[in-house]
Structure 1
Amino acid sequence: MKLKKSHIIPLILLSGLLIAKPVFAEDNVSQDDHPMGYYIKQEQEALLAQKNLPAPQTQVAPATPEEDESENTVTPTQTLPSSAIHVRMLSTAAPMLNSNTSSLPRRDAVDISSYQNWMNQADFYALRSAGVKTIVVKLTEGENYTNPYAKTQINMAKTAGLTIATYHFVSDPTRIQYEAAYYAKTAKTLGLSSNTVIIEDAEAPSTAYNWTNVSIVFKNTMASHGFHNIRYYTSQSWITSGVINTSTLGAKNMWVAQYPPGTPSTYAAMWKNSNTINSAYGAWQYTSEMRFKGGTANLLNNDLDTSIDYNNIFGAPSQNLQDVYRLYNANTGEHFYTLNFAEKTNLQNVGWRYEGIGWLSSSTGSPVYRVYNPNAKGGDHYYTMSKYEAQQLVSKGWRWDNNGGAAFYSNGSKNLYVAYNPNASSGSHNYTTNSYEQDNLLRLGWKYGAVAWKVN
């Protein structure tokens, strides 16, 4: 089913600066697949269409820092008169912005969904060259929709060396725990690590519910599934009018959408004011119409949502943690572990089976070395914290990986177990954080059940 843009009647006013601008090249947006900012942009269009009319009553949800984070229900809130919200409407439409404009805020993050299915690998490389650090990919909406392009988009972004964050578009706030559970399940199915930044897109036109409590339930549900790096996307007006309480959720966890008119040159005071206000939050989405120049034809001809990340909210809290990819070669029996996404992809392309994130590795701590035996059937790798042991193996014909530098570092609170298969000529060592897997291998005759090093 399709939802016409002209049929959207927003239910809450944006406070502050409002402008009218087109949303998408498409006239229709699927009812179960809304891109980020969809209702916020529709809201602005509707306000300008009604600029000579008094503002309607707006339902908001005042929240206080004392709210109980164990709350798992969502309750309606009272209606406040529209006079409680200050609105200033401008007839000036926001023009397409040019990424080469030096006076614009930084272009730290771009968010995408199924509507950016036109993007190819060259586009992601070009975005990185233009200064973009993070791609925020829509994974899910409601309890049934999954972005069919998410896996490909994530892989292309990672191949380009970009950080990945993901978001869920909240459809029904009364069923947020089920929506969040669906989001978590999808993230795990796609092989995303527990370190991934998870974002709640709170903008669906229903302010009759306490969106602060909705967000708390979202956070608690995601945490129960192992995801703890939670952020919240919403309009600046929802924060200003009390629909979402930043004292409870944390101002630096907020990703705020507000679009000044024109450019920083033509409306300098307005852009400066918006930047000053929104820098109190974690990130600011300041346009949905960025054209990236000097890149690809795709980026020159298509608009992208673009944001400045003031406080690195799209990166994991511990930037020194990296995903370790685990792969298996069915022909040799070897498991291989790497931080390099391109290496992981290349091995998959030649027949290795990807088994997910093995663990999170720190970029500091005690070094772990990796050496390679070219004489073993299909090759074999060995990992050790002892540089002397690694040097002894190299003297016997093994080869250094990573030019003799550390492949990983031991630093964390979680045990990484190693087991040795004395009957294997290749792939004789297995590394896992799963104690059940370790115990099962030992029952099958594997030896040397010990802690190899510490991980996260």
Structure 2
Amino acid sequence: MPVHRSGSTKSRRSRFAAAGTLLAALSLLIALPGASNAAGGSPAGPARGTATMGMGVVAHDGQGGLPIGTRAVQTEGVDVASYQGNVAWATLWNSGVKWAYTKATEGTYYTNPYFAQQYNGSYNVGMIRGAYHFATPDTTSGAVQANYFVDHGGGWSRDGKTLPGVLDIEWNPYGAQCYGKTAAQMVAWIRDFVNTYKARTGRDAVIYTATSWWKDCTGNNAGFATTNPLWVARYSSAVGELPAGWGFYTIWQYTSSGPTVGDHNHFNGALDRVQALANG
């Protein structure tokens, strides 16, 4: 006679029910914001506001050696953001750094909490300094972000110590590298920003970018070279190809691993040329 194992059947049903409950809980967990990190999944990416100048350069363009000797005179500078905290400006000055740019804003939702120490501290040791804005073209218009930048530290005055503001336009650390825009839309967004910045300050903004990003996301547009100084990012022994239209760079960010502050730059000229840019 067959033996009826009711206890075994109930046990299997209990295990199936428990497995279903566990799967439902895992589905809910994965659906929660940031939960994939907690569950050991892929990272959700950096938090809004934490973007810094050149943070995507190594991942997209790689990293080579430091610049080799050049016949042209170069003036050393740095760029800083909140992750550096209170910067040792006297140490940098004594090492030969003569100018600095500080992140002021990002989008229309972030201001650098260390801006005063960094922007005023560099000025107080004798540096010529300026401010930069990390663009997020997928959040608000170029004009809105330019106004936000000017209103939160990105202004300019002809005091001989203040450089024009910088539009930092590069890979999107929070999503699609071109911020979901076509090349034509990106060019229009940049034009909106720089036109508004000039209307507010009287100065043409410096454009910071990388050649590969500029090619991918603006179609290698050549329409800004006659008005906007170029700050190009390339971590190698030579600056390499420049974006279309620019025959030379004004600033070259050549490393993110320098002493004291990681991001180091060459200004393409002697200190009097840095002062000339400051004076407009």
Whether these two folds match at TM > 0.5 is yes
1:215 aligns with 2:199: no
Q: Which of 39, 42, 45 is the equivalent residue of 2:59?
A: 42
The answer (yes or no) to whether the contact 2:141–2:192 under 8 Å persists in 1 is no
* RMSD of Structure 2 on Structure 1 (CA): 3.5
Alpha-carbon displacement from aligned partner over 1:9-55 (angstroms, at most 9, x marks no partner): xxxxxxxxxxxxxxxxxxx843222011113333347xxxxxxxxxx
2:226 aligns to what?
250
Summarize the Cα distance change of 1:227–1:168 in structure 2 as closer, same or farther, 3 Å threshold.
farther
Summarize the Cα distance change of 1:277–1:222 in structure 2 as closer, same or farther, 3 Å threshold.
same
The answer (yes or no) to whether the contact 1:212–1:248 under 8 Å persists in 2 is no
Q: CA deviation at 1:320?
A: 5.8
2:5 aligns to what?
none
1:402 aligns to what?
none
Summarize the Cα distance change of 1:145–1:38 in structure 2 as closer, same or farther, 3 Å threshold.
same
1:148 aligns to what?
113
Distance in 2 of aligned mates of 1:144 and 1:248? 27
1:234 aligns to what?
209
The answer (yes or no) to whether the contact 2:86–2:118 under 8 Å persists in 1 is no
2:256 aligns to what?
288
Q: CA deviation at 1:208?
A: 2.7
1:181 aligns with 2:156: no
Question: Which residue identity does 2:53 align to in structure 1?
Answer: M
Would you tell me which structure has more helix in proportion to its own residues? 2
SS state at 2:53 partner: coil
Q: CA deviation at 1:305?
A: 0.7
Summarize the Cα distance change of 1:251–1:176 in structure 2 as closer, same or farther, 3 Å threshold.
closer
Unaligned segments of structure 2, at least 5 residues: 1-32
1:307 aligns with 2:265: yes
> TM-score of the superposition, structure 2-length normalised?
0.66
SS state at 1:115 partner: helix
1:33 aligns to what?
50
Question: Which residue identity does 1:148 align to in structure 2?
Answer: P
Alpha-carbon displacement from aligned partner over 1:321-364 (angstroms, at most 9, x marks no partner): 8xxxxxxxxxxxxxxxxxxxxxxxxxxxxxxxxxxxxxxxxxxx
Distance in 2 of aligned mates of 1:219 and 1:229? 7
Q: CA deviation at 1:108?
A: 1.6
Question: Which residue identity does 2:51 align to in structure 1?
Answer: H
The answer (yes or no) to whether the contact 1:106–1:307 under 8 Å persists in 2 is no
Question: Which residue identity does 1:219 align to in structure 2?
Answer: V
Number of residue pairs the alignment of both structures matches = 223
Summarize the Cα distance change of 1:228–1:162 in structure 2 as closer, same or farther, 3 Å threshold.
same
The answer (yes or no) to whether the contact 1:125–1:160 under 8 Å persists in 2 is yes
Q: CA deviation at 1:145?
A: 0.4
Alpha-carbon displacement from aligned partner over 1:44-79 (angstroms, at most 9, x marks no partner): 47xxxxxxxxxxxxxxxxxxxxxxxxxxxxxxxxxx
Distance in 2 of aligned mates of 1:247 and 1:220? 13
Summarize the Cα distance change of 1:246–1:283 in structure 2 as closer, same or farther, 3 Å threshold.
farther
Summarize the Cα distance change of 1:127–1:244 in structure 2 as closer, same or farther, 3 Å threshold.
farther
Alpha-carbon displacement from aligned partner over 1:88-132 (angstroms, at most 9, x marks no partner): xxxxx657x6xxx9848946210000011042xxx2122122221
Distance in 2 of aligned mates of 1:109 and 1:168? 17
1:111 aligns with 2:72: no
Summarize the Cα distance change of 1:320–1:200 in structure 2 as closer, same or farther, 3 Å threshold.
closer
Q: CA deviation at 1:228?
A: 1.2
Q: CA deviation at 1:238?
A: 3.2
The answer (yes or no) to whether the contact 1:252–1:280 under 8 Å persists in 2 is no
The answer (yes or no) to whether the contact 2:253–2:264 under 8 Å persists in 1 is yes
Alpha-carbon displacement from aligned partner over 1:145-172 (angstroms, at most 9, x marks no partner): 0001101111111111001111000012
Summarize the Cα distance change of 1:250–1:237 in structure 2 as closer, same or farther, 3 Å threshold.
farther
SS state at 1:197 partner: coil
1:224 aligns to what?
199
Identity level (%): 25
Which runs of structure 2 are paired with 1:414-433 in the superposition (5 Å)? none
Q: CA deviation at 1:215?
A: 2.1
The answer (yes or no) to whether the contact 2:211–2:241 under 8 Å persists in 1 is no
Q: CA deviation at 1:216?
A: 1.6
**RCO (CA 8 Å, sep 6+): is it higher in 1 or 2?**
2
Summarize the Cα distance change of 1:131–1:252 in structure 2 as closer, same or farther, 3 Å threshold.
farther
Q: Which of 166, 169, 173 is the equivalent residue of 1:199?
A: 166
SS state at 2:248 partner: coil
1:170 aligns to what?
135
Q: CA deviation at 1:249?
A: 3.3
Would you tell me which structure has more strand in proportion to its own residues? 1
